[in-house]
Amino acid sequence: MSLLRLFKRTPAVPTVDSVTIRLEQAEHVYDDGTVGLRSTNLEIHERRVAVIGLNGSGKTTLLKLMDGALLPSSGMVTITAGEQKFDTAQRKENKRIAAHIGKVRREEIPNAYYQSKTIAEAVATAVRKAGSVPRTEIDALVGDLFARFALADSSRLNAAELDSERRHLLAVVAALATRPCTIVADEPTKGLDEHGTDRVATALFSGNLQVIFATHDVAMTTNPHFAIDRTILMHNQSVIFDGNPHEAAERYDKLVQELMGKSAL
């Protein structure tokens, strides 16, 4: 079975190429009172969007609001996929949002994956639970994904036996396995060396899906190989720049220099 056929959607989920995510005065305050994101207005529809900023700047909160993992404390977050529009505050929409958006977390892979005998079994189980792929196609889909991302030789290993790079690759496979049109990834290359970063980033972008990702690797956002369309720079839980990746990288460098100068006083 070809990869093209494997990545066609089931009839229950309309085929779309990307989503539009809109934040309208959206903010999030955690239960302990920590501000995760200040009131923000954004609309994202581009194919490849990077989010950069220092630790604690609000990147993770922003991404979790975008993919529905967090609810806004005030304001609204909506996801439009074709003719469908989802309000993330409506928990009943979670499954339909998940059918369109795959998630890659900086924790790398879900804890449940360590409970499965093999990583192939873990991915297959997750796909069955999601219900987005006909059961007769799951084994072929998982096998092709593992081959595509050079994980075939590791497919019968337990997640605990994988090195860091293969865990990162598995996180991408897990996100792709339910056939989303969009991937939201939080630091998908965190902790990897230059070689590992290149391999995982190449895998992340290889499906020509819409990818929205946060990273500390600013060089990745300006690498022409990855063709990033737009970069959002965050500081103090707010968006302080939104636009050209090269200009965003320059603004980020300037921000770091300013903060280092202040700390030296």
Q: What CATH number has the domain bearing residue 94?
A: 3.40.50.300
How many structural domains comprise the chain? 1
Q: Work out the pLDDT band at 110, boundaries 50, 70, 90.
A: confident
Q: What is the spatial distance between Cα 263 and Cα 3, in angstroms, rounded to a whole number?
A: 52
| 122 sits in which H/E element | helix 119-130
Q: Give the model's pLDDT for residue 260.
A: 85
Q: What is the spatial distance between Cα 118 and Cα 57, in angstroms, rounded to a whole number?
A: 37
More confident position, 178 or 63: 63
Q: Is residue 223 part of a domain?
A: yes
Q: Is residue 3 part of a domain?
A: no
CA distances to 1, 75, 99, 107, 144 from 39, in Å: 47, 8, 28, 27, 42
Q: Is residue 71 part of a domain?
A: yes
Q: Give the model's pLDDT for residue 263.
A: 67
Per residue in 166-190, pLDDT (tens digit) is 999 999 988 888 889 999 999 999 9
| Percent of residues, the chain, with pLDDT higher than 90 | 66
Q: Give the model's pLDDT for residue 94.
A: 87
Quote the domain boundaries for residue 88: 16-264
DSSP 3-state assignment of 198? Answer: helix
Q: Work out the pLDDT band at 129, boundaries 50, 70, 90.
A: confident
Q: Is residue 141 part of a domain?
A: yes
More confident position, 234 or 8: 234
Q: Is residue 244 part of a domain?
A: yes
Q: Work out the pLDDT band at 85, boundaries 50, 70, 90.
A: very high
Q: Give the model's pLDDT for residue 264.
A: 60
Contacts (Cβ under 8 Å, ≥6 apart) of 261? none
Per residue in 139-151, pLDDT (tens digit) is 898 899 999 888 9
Q: Is residue 10 part of a domain?
A: no
- The yes-or-no verdict on residue 4 having pLDDT over 60 is no
Shortest CA distance to 18 belongs to which of 44, 52, 40, 50? 44
pTM over 0.95: no
Structure tokens at 197: 């970063």
Shortest CA distance to 108 belongs to which of 210, 207, 215, 190? 190
| 196 sits in which H/E element | helix 194-205
Per residue in 209-241, pLDDT (tens digit) is 999 999 999 999 999 999 999 999 999 999 999
Q: Is residue 245 part of a domain?
A: yes
Q: Give the model's pLDDT for residue 177.
A: 85
- Average pLDDT over the chain reads 89
Per residue in 15-61, pLDDT (tens digit) is 788 999 999 999 999 999 999 999 999 999 999 999 999 999 999 99
Single-letter code of the amino acid located at 110: P
Q: Is residue 5 part of a domain?
A: no
Instruction: Tell me which residue has tokens 């922003």.
Output: 62
Q: What is the spatial distance between Cα 82 and Cα 18, in angstroms, rounded to a whole number?
A: 8
